[in-house]
Structure 1
Amino acid sequence: MELVCPTDAEEEEIEIPAKRNLRKGNWDDPEYAKQRMIFEKQFKESEGYDVDWDSMDYNFPGSIVDSRGDYDDQLSNKELMIMLINTAIDEANEENGTKLKLVKYVTANVVGAKGFLFFITFWAKDLSAPNPEPQCYQAKVLWFMDDVDVREFRLRPTQ
């Protein structure tokens, strides 16, 4: 998946994709089996971050965060993504002495794992850098009973 740097990098931007009605699949359906193998390959190779959901018609163990239902009873998916990203950024700033600031949300995949494990991709810029150009980051964040555990924070590997 090719990502394009945002042109206006001054405002936090979060847009959650519209709800998609995905079909329930079964292994006897050759199209389901084909898409399931593609999904598993993409999920594994990208370590959970990059799946071409536009080419998927079925519900798989992992899914894209969308508006099909909120993952929290008090926060919308948009509010939850902002909170999870900012928590990950705050931890990275504290550990690395940076001043990263969210620029734009890109996407998030989610799997159930004693709560929800989110694989979030976003743009941020380091305000402490001499030339704070936006860079693409990824964070793996576990959300369980109002507890946030940042499992990974990294620059997005080049594809």
Structure 2
Amino acid sequence: MAGSVSTEDAGSRPVKTPKVDEKAIVESKPPSTFDRLLMIGEPEKDEYVRQYLLFRCQYYQTRGFGIEWEKFDYHFSLCYPYDGAPPNFMNQSNEERIKEVTQLAIDKYNQDNGTNIVFVEHVSANYRCYGYFAHWVTFWGRDMSSPCPVSKLYQAKILHRRHSYQFPIFRVKPTDEGHFAPSLLHNADFAVSIWVYV
């Protein structure tokens, strides 16, 4: 039949390959710490309980600064990592806020102690919202007022509510042994300071 198409002709057509949208292909990035952690745990599971106890130990031993997030699969309510967290502030990124509160803590410490510490580099930051924000920031700083300025690791805890700030902890990061030292239990780290309005 002249009007019919043979199956040989139809089978010999080249198969169309679908077009790939190059813009849609995104390199897979490792998830951020915040995204990797599960929001809801299963408290009846042994692994959850084990991680919860380890988290509480790290939180209290390091005063909230030294959480080893890579060891955890869950969010716990004492604090959260800033790494990958959704923006917590309407007009600033988390990075901008961390830098701002760190600089405020440095300025307050310099004013109270006659030092000239300058910010060098951010290392880590954790946060929690209690009705006010608590920030635990670890950063490299250099005291330019010392005869031989050398970079040191500093830690600052900043409490922030509206336009007021409180700085209950500002210190050189203690050594691992220092976290357990009895003198740390009664030092100025735990003194309640007055709210500073900025």
Instruction: Give the TM-score category using the shorter length.
Output: 0.7 to 0.9
- Matches of 1:38 and 1:152 in 2, distance apart? 23
When normalised by structure 1's length, the TM-score is: 0.84
How many percent of aligned residue pairs carry the same amino acid? Answer: 31
- Pairing 1:31–2:37 present: no
Secondary structure at the aligned position of 1:89 is classed as helix
- Matches of 1:126 and 1:71 in 2, distance apart? 31
When normalised by structure 2's length, the TM-score is: 0.68
- Matches of 1:21 and 1:147 in 2, distance apart? 33
Structure richer in strand, relative to its length: 1
- Note the C-alpha offset of 1:129: 1.4
- Matches of 2:120 and 2:113 in 1, distance apart? 19
- Matches of 1:46 and 1:30 in 2, distance apart? 24
Instruction: Find 1:43's aligned residue among 59, 79, 92.
Output: 59
**Deviations, residues 53-92 of structure 1 (Å, cap 9, x unaligned):** 0111101112111222112111101100110100000001
**Which residue matches 1:155?**
172
Q: How many residues align?
A: 143
| AA partner of residue 47 (structure 2) | E
Q: Which protein shows a greater Rg?
A: 2
- Pairing 1:132–2:149 present: yes
Instruction: Find 1:68's aligned residue among 58, 72, 85.
Output: 85
Higher relative contact order (CA 8 A, sep 6+): 1
**Which residue matches 2:37?**
22
Question: What is the root-mean-square deviation of aligned Cα atoms in Å?
Answer: 1.5
Query: 5+ residue gaps in structure 2?
Result: 1-30, 177-198
- Note the C-alpha offset of 1:144: 1.8
- Matches of 1:144 and 1:66 in 2, distance apart? 22
**Which residue matches 2:122?**
105
Query: 5+ residue gaps in structure 1?
Result: 1-16
Would you say the 8 A contact 1:25–1:32 is kept in 2? yes
Structure richer in helix, relative to its length: 2
